[in-house]
Amino acid sequence: MLSEVNFLAVVAAAFAPMVIGAIWYGPLFGKPWMSAHGYTPERLEEMKKGMGKAYGLSFVCYLVMATVLSILIAWLGAANLWTGVCLAFYCWLGFAATIGLTSHLFSDKKTAAYLIDVAYQLVYMLVMGAVLGAWR
């Protein structure tokens, strides 16, 4: 299956969550997200110290996610933008949304934290699916 993977498309798809996340957790939902998690500006400054490692590992995770999504797209013959988006939606619905919800149910975080995070995951999964489906 790896022979059918377009690794340039995988790298492009893996960058999508990084770019979307900078906008999502910055100007769009940064303040509500901080509030939902109970973070103070001081806590965020402290968290920034380990961000290089967090961003690096996140990118590796996005590479794995994009590779697996690319394999699924090839395996199912979903070789266009629309079918890539549809497959990404079902992967998000069946895995990301449900895993995130079950984790949230056993946490003490506000529902807004889950909603902001799961919506972000939906958006970047759809973009990944579009890139990988269209760039075959």
**110: region left, alpha or beta (phi > 0 left; psi from -120 to 50 alpha):** beta
Query: pLDDT per residue over 6-50, tens digit each?
Result: 999 999 999 999 999 999 999 999 999 999 999 988 898 898 888
Q: How many CB atoms lie within 10 A of CB 33?
A: 19
Structure tokens at 75: 């395996």
User: pTM score, two decimals?
Assistant: 0.93
The 8 Å CB, 24+ separation contacts for 63-69 are 63/10, 63/11, 63/14, 65/14, 65/128, 66/9, 66/10, 66/11, 66/13, 66/14, 66/128, 66/132, 67/2, 67/5, 67/10, 69/13, 69/125, 69/128, 69/129, 69/132
Structure tokens at 87: 């497959």
What's the CA angle centered on 16, arms 104 and 118, to 5 degrees? 15
Name the helix (H) or strand (E) containing 116. Answer: helix 111-134
**What is the domain partition of the chain in residue ranges?**
6-134
Q: What is the pLDDT of residue 133?
A: 96
Q: Does residue 110 have a pLDDT over 90?
A: yes
d(CA 54, CA 80): 32
Q: What is the pLDDT of residue 78?
A: 84
Q: Does residue 1 have a pLDDT over 80?
A: no
